[in-house]
Amino acid sequence: MKDVPAPLPTVLLVDDEAHSLAAMRMALEDDFDCLIAASADEAGGLMEQQDIQVIFCDQRMPGRSGVEFLSEVRDRWPETVRIIITGYTETSDMIAAINEAGIYQFLTKPWHPDELLMAAKNAADLFRLTRDHDRLSLEMRLLNRTAESKLEHRRKALREGLGFENVLRAPNSPMNAVIAQARQFASFDVPVLLQGEPGTGKTDMARAMHYGSLRADHPFLAHNCVGAEEELLELELFGARQGAMPGQRTNKIGLLQKAERGTLFLNGVDALAPRLQLALMRILSEGVFRPLGAREEIATNARLILGAHRDLRTEVAEGRFRADLFYALSVAELDLPPLRGRPGDISVLASHMLFELSDAHGKPVHGLADAALEFLERYDWPGNARELRNEITRMLIFAQDAVLGPELISRHILQAAPAEDGGDRNVDSVLVGGGTLRDRVELIEKRVLRETLTRLKWNKSRAAAELGLSRVGLRAKLDRYCLAPPASAPAEEE
């Protein structure tokens, strides 16, 4: 990997006088990346967005004074070196400022450019030395065991399940084998590829792998690439230097910098343009990227976990995805099964979603009826967990009782119960499928009868009236198709 020049230290200049800001910037801009703010509130907003090493702040400003602002900075960003500039030299005031805000140095007006530059360089060196000291102190505390024994101890703890308790599943779920692999991949610092249909839980799996890794103490960031414009996605991932975009007055930090020493999950990479695929390949192979408008490249130590909605082998074969990028990811590849392939998990997921939504919307419930769970488990859920969550939300909205029954379920789900041979045959598949006309009409009739009676809570009088049948005719069809109400259905008075 070629040597990459280090980025310039960032200094924040805070003063309500425009000419003072311009003068300070002119003195420092050759050696520092300068940000400017005309008030404490504006400076606080920049601190939220940027990684700032040094602050020069004027003492006398409208609103909060420099001491008040730097006191807040000390509490929220203690590593940032704080320097105050004042035109008042009362010793008692300066001593109070140093004690209250943890001031590293104060400068008096008028200051000389060389004096300002020297103070900035000394402060930047202090910032770097402080970080190096913290890192070395942490390493010294861990040297009581050898590197191999420490790493193996950590891997063993991670394999025991740390970080994966939030991936909900039944005891015999097909997800168990996937999670066993994910645990192994999580404890090794390699990129990972997660493949599966939309809504299969790739983001949850990526988050679990992050918190089950040695990077768990650092940021986890996730971003969806599907549908994003190429330029906006590039700006979001790599950031931009000041002036690279119209109206941009400050540097923008990209996700790759924000996720430093942590994990960045990019979902939907099968939709990436070729140019962004090449940029990702450079990150994986060389560990560098270039922000928009920048001349220099920046090294990154973020771990990449990529999610794909389509099979990338097929995308590579058809020329829509870079083969070298796919092979760089295939060392750690996981396929997440769709919800229709794990019917035993549906009741666990549905119940968890119901109580989560109940708390969020302030509508207390006791759970889902067994008959409702049967219908939910029989449906194939083409939209996976997102579709299931939407259905549970809809049921909660219309629920009148503490236990949610099958009558609340959408009609297309009630009509899509599996056939007697176990196949999932909804109305559309019956219309275009095989069999005689009579067989297909009977299948549809059976579906309509089951859906109508379930929706009307097995009230045969209302069902017969809605379907245009007599009570005797409805009873005959129920006997013919062996349809009976669930045990929980209310008994109807004859």
Read out DSSP for 359-393?
HHHT----EE-HHHHHHHHHS--TTHHHHHHHHHH
Is the pLDDT at 62 greater than 70? The verdict is yes
What is the model's pLDDT at position 354? 92
Residue 248: which pLDDT band, with cuts at 50, 70 and 90?
low
Residues 163 and 296 placed together within one structural domain of the fold: yes
Cα–Cα distance measured from residue 92 to residue 120, given in angstroms and rounded to the nearest whole number: 24
Residue 5: which pLDDT band, with cuts at 50, 70 and 90?
low
* 8 A C-beta contact, residue 276 and residue 292: no
DSSP secondary structure code for residue 331 in this structure: T
Residue 104: which pLDDT band, with cuts at 50, 70 and 90?
confident
Average pLDDT for residues 13-41, to the nearest whole number?
90
- Name the domain count of the chain: 3
Residues 345 and 410 placed together within one structural domain of the fold: yes
Residues 168 and 315 placed together within one structural domain of the fold: yes
Residues 243 and 299 placed together within one structural domain of the fold: yes
* 8 A C-beta contact, residue 452 and residue 463: yes
Burial class (CB in 10 A: 0-12, 13-18, 19+), 245: middle
User: 237 lies in a domain?
Assistant: yes
Residues 102 and 202 placed together within one structural domain of the fold: no
Residue 417: which pLDDT band, with cuts at 50, 70 and 90?
low
User: 474 lies in a domain?
Assistant: yes
DSSP secondary structure code for residue 215 in this structure: T
Q: What is the mean pLDDT of the chain?
A: 81
Cα–Cα distance measured from residue 388 to residue 385, given in angstroms and rounded to the nearest whole number: 5
Question: Of 289, 305, 336, which residue constitutes the final position of a domain?
Answer: 336
Tokens of residue 108, six digits: 């008096």
Tokens of residue 88, six digits: 């008042």
Cα–Cα distance measured from residue 179 to residue 271, given in angstroms and rounded to the nearest whole number: 26
pTM higher than the cut 0.75: no
Average pLDDT for residues 306-324, to the nearest whole number?
91
User: 492 lies in a domain?
Assistant: no
User: 308 lies in a domain?
Assistant: yes
CA atoms within 13 A on the CB side of 405: 16
Nearest partner of 401 among 490, 295, 274, 340, judged by Cα: 490
Is the pLDDT at 111 greater than 80? The verdict is yes
Residues 322 and 360 placed together within one structural domain of the fold: no
The torsion region of residue 58 among left (phi > 0), alpha (psi -120 to 50) and beta comes to: beta
CATH of the domain at 381: 1.10.8.60
CATH of the domain at 29: 3.40.50.2300
Residues 193-225 pLDDT 10s: 999 999 898 998 999 999 888 888 888 999 998
CATH of the domain at 323: 3.40.50.300
Residues 296 and 430 placed together within one structural domain of the fold: no
Residues 66-92 pLDDT 10s: 888 888 888 888 888 888 888 765 556
Q: Which helix (H) or strand (E) holds 33?
A: strand 33-37
Question: Of 85, 107, 140, which residue constitutes the final position of a domain?
Answer: 140
216 CB-near residues (< 8 Å, 6+ apart): 162, 163, 210
Strand partners, 265: 222, 305
User: 396 lies in a domain?
Assistant: yes
User: 418 lies in a domain?
Assistant: yes
Question: Of 315, 336, 357, which residue constitutes the final position of a domain?
Answer: 336
What is the model's pLDDT at position 453? 62
User: 494 lies in a domain?
Assistant: no
User: 213 lies in a domain?
Assistant: yes
- Stronger pLDDT, 463 or 360, i.e. the higher one: 360
Residue 131: which pLDDT band, with cuts at 50, 70 and 90?
confident
For tokens 């909660």, the residue is 396
Range of the domain at 299: 154-336
Residues 379 and 288 placed together within one structural domain of the fold: no
Residues 21 and 92 placed together within one structural domain of the fold: yes
Tokens of residue 109, six digits: 């007006």
Residues 456 and 316 placed together within one structural domain of the fold: no
* Strand, coil or helix: 62: coil
* Angle (CA) 281 286 287, round 5°: 90
Residues 415 and 325 placed together within one structural domain of the fold: no
Average pLDDT for residues 273-298, to the nearest whole number?
88
What is the model's pLDDT at position 422? 38
Residues 170 and 131 placed together within one structural domain of the fold: no
- Helix, strand, coil shares of the chain as percentages rounded to 5? 50, 10, 40
What is the model's pLDDT at position 405? 85
What is the model's pLDDT at position 161? 41
* 8 A C-beta contact, residue 273 and residue 230: yes
